[in-house]
Amino acid sequence: MKKLLKLSSLVGVLLFVFIGCGAASVYNIQNNPVEVKKSTSNDDVYKAIKKAGLSLGWIVTKVKDGEAKAVINLRTHQAIVKIDYTNTNYSINYVNSINLKYNMEKNTIHNNYNGWIKNLERAINVQLSVYID
């Protein structure tokens, strides 16, 4: 019985390691709508994106009007994304990473990356609703 319990535990741990820490398709966000007022500017949207990113540890910089770069460094991992934005929508696209097992041919990356992007998306949506309403 003890051997069966140990074997079951080992299988569970291995499944967690291989599935929980595996690769997934890169999560990009395309043209997420921004609820706007007539007076909302691209700069208003950038400020909301920057504030949202900073709240999660992302370093957000404006590349040019309508384009921002966001970088996050966690332990030995780094992710870099490009955020295109207007006063009506925004997109988040993968640019580069370190230690996240990105595979260009398969377009896969470590699962944690997708979680970071989903959290960033939620935070941006919250900031936009607070900032613009």
pLDDT tens digits, one per residue of 36-73: 777 789 999 999 999 999 999 999 999 999 999 999 99
- Quick check: is 7 in a domain? no
Q: What is the pLDDT of residues 17-42, one digit of tens each?
A: 444 457 899 999 999 998 777 778 99
Q: What is the mean pLDDT of residues 89-107?
A: 97
- Quick check: is 16 in a domain? no
Give the domain CATH number at 93: 3.30.310
- Quick check: is 9 in a domain? no
- Quick check: is 8 in a domain? no
* Helix/strand number for the chain, H first, E second: 3, 7
- Quick check: is 11 in a domain? no
Separation between Cα atoms, residue 88 and residue 31, nearest integer Å: 9
Provide the domain count of the chain: 1
Q: Can you give the residue range of the structural domain that contains 61?
A: 23-132
Separation between Cα atoms, residue 57 and residue 72, nearest integer Å: 6
pLDDT at 21 (0 to 100): 57
- Quick check: is 69 in a domain? yes
